[in-house]
A = this chain, B = another copy of it.
């Protein structure tokens, strides 16, 4: 059923039906009611493709996520959920595009097929082809995360550098002198993953500032890896009394390694880091951490994108979020491991 059918049955022209629906020109009240009755009866909805074709916009935004094959972290999931939510509130649909892996055709379709009015890009690398591709296309886009040239685009991001520095200072305040940074996977770090890179900066900076001893290791995003990573760490650095991490998926494994080593948390050993609040709260014991407010960040990304769509030539904007550390149950005063039996 198309608009012509509605027009015929209401005894008006197609344009009148269109105006009755959009309200862009006055339509007699009685006519409007007649048209509405026909529409309700037939359950008519304007064809999205036809409308998009004429209007030149699709009322749809693209959400580019990491390849589906690799499991999303809780923080990433939080982003997706909040973007979906915010978009729904703004009556925008979401076209999902896994990018990165093999099927970049999906990304290419989203970018150049005029399928979307704008794009939200997740999991951005310091050097990211997709950003260049999007800039060339002229499509408005907003990053959750940003590249090394941060001015070249609009983004929202978590201030991993500040957050990690806060974690380190928090540990230093508790008397810890030897601490380790457990980063994300070596592949990610090598690929120039921004959060990993900035966490390193924050870590080394704060370690130097407080004259501590710091160790840095990479760790794959799962519990197994977390466990073996911490086991190696404990063996190689007996003087270690605390860990700061941005690898939430590995934390349960880290707990297990500590338990296995008969180190109680936070009595003998402290753990802190950057994680989704929900996740940190539900760990056992609950993780003292800088809480990532994924909900807010995703919603702000959508806001910025909507603005950017309505005014593509406005200067790019940035939003860097650094929430305070929520004290929970995994950090305490330093107690030298050497002093233990």
Select A113's contact among B46, B89, B105, B222, beta carbons within 8 Å.
Answer: B46
User: Do residues A47 and B223 form an inter-chain contact, with CB atoms below 8 A?
Assistant: no
Whole-angstrom distance from the CB of A68 to the nearest CB of chain B?
A: 4
Select A82's contact among B63, B68, B115, beta carbons within 8 Å.
Answer: B68
Indicate with 1 or 0, residue by residue over A187-224, a CB within 8 angstroms of chain B CB atoms: 00000000000000000000000000000000000111
The docked-state distance in angstroms from the alpha carbon of A330 to that of B321 is 42
Indicate with 1 or 0, residue by residue over A48-64, a CB within 8 angstroms of chain B CB atoms: 11101100001010010
Indicate with 1 or 0, residue by residue over A106-120, a CB within 8 angstroms of chain B CB atoms: 101110111100000
Q: State the oligomeric state as a number of copies.
A: 2
Known: A89-B103, A106-B88, A284-B223. A95 touches B95 (CB 8 A): yes
Known: A48-B115, A53-B53, A113-B46. A84 touches B68 (CB 8 A): yes
Indicate with 1 or 0, residue by residue over A96-108, a CB within 8 angstroms of chain B CB atoms: 1110000101101
Q: Which residues of B contact A278 (CB under 8 A)?
A: 71
User: Do residues A95 and B94 form an inter-chain contact, with CB atoms below 8 A?
Assistant: yes
Residues of chain A whose beta carbon lies under 8 Å from any beta carbon of chain B = 43, 45-50, 52-53, 58, 60, 63, 68-69, 71-72, 77, 80-82, 84-85, 88-89, 91, 93-98, 103, 105-106, 108-110, 112-115, 136, 222-224, 252, 256, 278, 282, 284
22 residue pairs of the A-B complex, CB under 8 angstroms, read: A45-B112, A45-B113, A45-B114, A48-B49, A48-B115, A49-B50, A49-B115, A50-B53, A68-B81, A68-B88, A69-B85, A71-B77, A71-B81, A84-B98, A85-B98, A91-B109, A93-B110, A94-B96, A94-B97, A224-B282, A252-B282, A256-B284
